[in-house]
């Protein structure tokens, strides 16, 4: 079955440490996105990529980095520059098409906690 796989499900980061969150999709979608969700709040866009080897900053890119070397993969690195990284991270993909296609498909998320 096609879908998006995020790993790990839970991740603990020490102060000053970089960590990388994995996102892989087999839906043949061109576009991929990373969102952050804090308790009781909506989704905020971190980075997005509409084609391989290209990506753009979203609304809250500071302290994060991404790469898009393969169509299937869009890993997110949370760097030590991100001062408050504890949150629920969601990866999504889409095949925009006409009128936005079928919207976004989301992975199951990674819950990151600073210890």
Partner 1 sequence: QKEVEQNSGPLSVPEGAIASLNCTYSDRGSQSFFWYRQYSGKSPELIMSIYSNGDKEDGRFTAQLNKASQYVSLLIRDSQPSDSATYLCAPLGYGNKLVFGAGTILRVKS
Question: From the CB of 59, what's the least distance to partner 1, in Å?
Answer: 10
Q: Is 45 in the site for partner 1 (CB under 8 A)?
A: yes
Does position 28 bind partner 1 by CB under 8 A?
A: no
Give the integer Cα–Cα distance in Å for 63 and 15: 13
C-alpha–C-alpha distance, residues 42 and 50, integer Å:
22
Q: Which residue has the tokens 């989301």?
A: 106
* CB closer to partner 1 out of 5 and 17: 5
Nearer to partner 1, 16 or 103 (CB): 103
Q: Contact residues for partner 1 (CB under 8 A)?
A: 31, 33, 35, 41-43, 45, 48, 50, 90, 94, 96, 99-100, 102-109
């Amino acid at each position: 079955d096609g879908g998006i796989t995020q790993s790990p499900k839970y991740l603990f980061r020490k102060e000053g440490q970089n960590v990388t969150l994995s996102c892989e999709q087999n839906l043949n979608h061109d576009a991929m996105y990373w969102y952050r969700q804090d308790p009781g709040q909506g989704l905020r866009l971190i980075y997005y990529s509409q084609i391989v080897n290209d990506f753009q900053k979203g609304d809250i890119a500071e302290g994060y980095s991404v790469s898009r070397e393969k169509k299937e993969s869009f890993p997110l690195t949370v760097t030590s520059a991100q001062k408050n990284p504890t949150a629920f991270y969601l990866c999504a993909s889409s095949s925009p098409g006409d009128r936005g296609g079928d919207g976004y498909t989301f992975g199951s998320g990674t819950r990151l906690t600073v210890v």
